[in-house]
Amino acid sequence: QVQLVESGGGLVKPGGFLRLSCAASGFNFSDYYMTWIRQAPGKWLEWISYISSSGSKIYYTDSVKGRFTISRDNAKNSLYLQMNSLRAEDTAVYYCARGSGLIPFDCWGQGTLVTVSS
Report if residue 100 touches another protein, rule: CB under 8 A.
yes
Residue range at the interface with another protein (CB under 8 A); choices 7-15, 22-30, 72-80, 102-110: 102-110
In the complex, minimum distance from the CB of residue 19 to another protein, in angstroms, rounded to a whole number: 21
Among 17, 40, 73, 106, binds another protein (CB under 8 A): 106
Asked if 41 and 92 count as a contact pair (C-beta separation under 8 A), the reply is yes
Return the biggest CA–CA distance within the chain. Answer: 40
How far apart CA 63 and CA 94 sit, in angstroms, is 15
> What residues contact 95, with CB distance under 8 A and at least 6 apart?
6, 36, 37, 38, 39, 108, 109, 111
Q: Please, which residue, 31 or 62, has the CB nearer to another protein?
A: 62
Map the footprint of another protein across residues 31-90, applying CB under 8 A. Answer: 35, 37, 44-47, 50, 59, 61
